[in-house]
Amino acid sequence: MTDRKTELAANLAQVEERIAAACTAAGRKREEVTLIVVTKTYPASDVRLLAELGVRHVAENRDQEAGPKAAECADLPLIWHFVGQLQTNKVRSVSSYADVVQSVDRKRLVDALSDAAVRTAREMGVLIQVALDADSGERGSRGGVGPDGVEALAESVIAAEGLRLDGLMTVAPLAGPYEGRPRAAFDRLAEISSRLRAAHPAANMVSAGMSSDLEEAVAAGATHVRVGTAVLGVRPPLR
Ligand SMILES: *Cc1c(COP(=O)(O)O)cnc(C)c1O
C-alpha cells in the first residue's frame, strides 16, 4: 500500500472502532449507522483510495470542487452526498452527480432540485437540514430551516417530482442554547425526526455527528455520521 493508503486505512479503522463502540454503548447494532466520509478539500486520488478501502458514501460541500472530483471518480461505486449551503444557480451542476442532497432548507431550493431531477430523469434523495440555532421562520447561520419550518418543507419535497424525502440532517450549533451541547442538539433532532416519520415513515435518515461528536450522534439515534478530519486529516483553513 502507498503511504497515504496506509494512513487512510489506519484512520478509517479508528473511526470504525469509535462508531462500533458508540453503537455498543447505545445498545444499537453496528449496521444501523452508516459512515459518510466528507472528502472536501482532499483530492480525487484520496476518494479513489477510500473506495478501494471499502468506503461507499462520500460527501462534499462546494459544487466548484465537487463537480470535477465526482467526474474523475465516476467509475467508482460511490454514493455522493452534497452537504453544503447550496445556491439555486448551482443546482443543475449538483444534480448531475449528487445522489442525496442533505442541505435542503427552503422551498426555492426544492423547486430547483425538482426541475433538475426531472430534466435529468434522475431521482434525488433529499434531507431537510434543520437549524437548531434558528429562530422561528429564519434560517440558521450555517444553513438549515428552523424546527417549525420542517413540516411545510417536507410536504413540498413529497409533492415535488423527481425528489425522494429521505429524512433530516443537522450540524451541531456553534452558538445559541445548544452551543457546546451536541448530545442535546442531536436529541432534539431525533425528536423532530420521530414527528416527521409519523407522517412519512420512509423519511428515516438522521444525518448528524462529525469527527468531534459522532459518539453523541450515535447515542441520540443518528443513522448517518459525516466524518472528514478523523479520516483524512486536518483540512487547510478555507480561503
Ligand atoms: C466538513 C463537514 C463535516 C465533517 O466535519 P469534520 O469535523 O471534518 O469531521 C460534516 N458535515 C458537514 C456539513 C461538513 O461541512
174 pocket-lining for ligand 1 (C-beta < 6 Å): no
Q: Residue range 192-205: average pLDDT?
A: 98
The CA distance from 126 to 121, in Å, is 16
Q: Domains (ranges, CATH) in the chain?
A: 3-231 (3.20.20.10)
Q: Residue range 100-104: average pLDDT?
A: 98
Statement: residue 135 has pLDDT above 70: no
| One-letter-per-residue 3-state SS of 143-178 | ECECHHHHHHHHHHHHHCCCEEEEEEEECCCCCCCC
**Average pLDDT taken over every residue of the chain:** 96
Pocket test for ligand 1, best of 14, 36, 61, 65 (most atoms within 8 A of CB): 61
What pLDDT does 137 receive?
66
pLDDT in tens, 75-85: 999 999 999 99
Statement: residue 239 has pLDDT above 60: no
User: What band does 115 get if pLDDT is binned at 50, 70 and 90?
Assistant: very high
What pLDDT does 178 receive?
94
The CA distance from 202 to 180, in Å, is 31
Pocket test for ligand 1, best of 210, 216, 227, 235 (most atoms within 8 A of CB): 210
What pLDDT does 139 receive?
73
Tell me the angle at which helices 63-72 and 44-52 cross, rounded to the nearest 10 degrees: 50
Which residue matches cell numbers 426531472? 118
Angle, CA 80 vertex, CA 60 and CA 185 arms, to 5°: 60
81 pocket-lining for ligand 1 (C-beta < 6 Å): no
pTM of the model: 0.97
C-alpha cell belonging to residue 58: 462520500
What pLDDT does 60 receive?
98
Report the chain's terminal Cα–Cα distance, integer Å.
32
Residue 41 β-bridge partners:
none
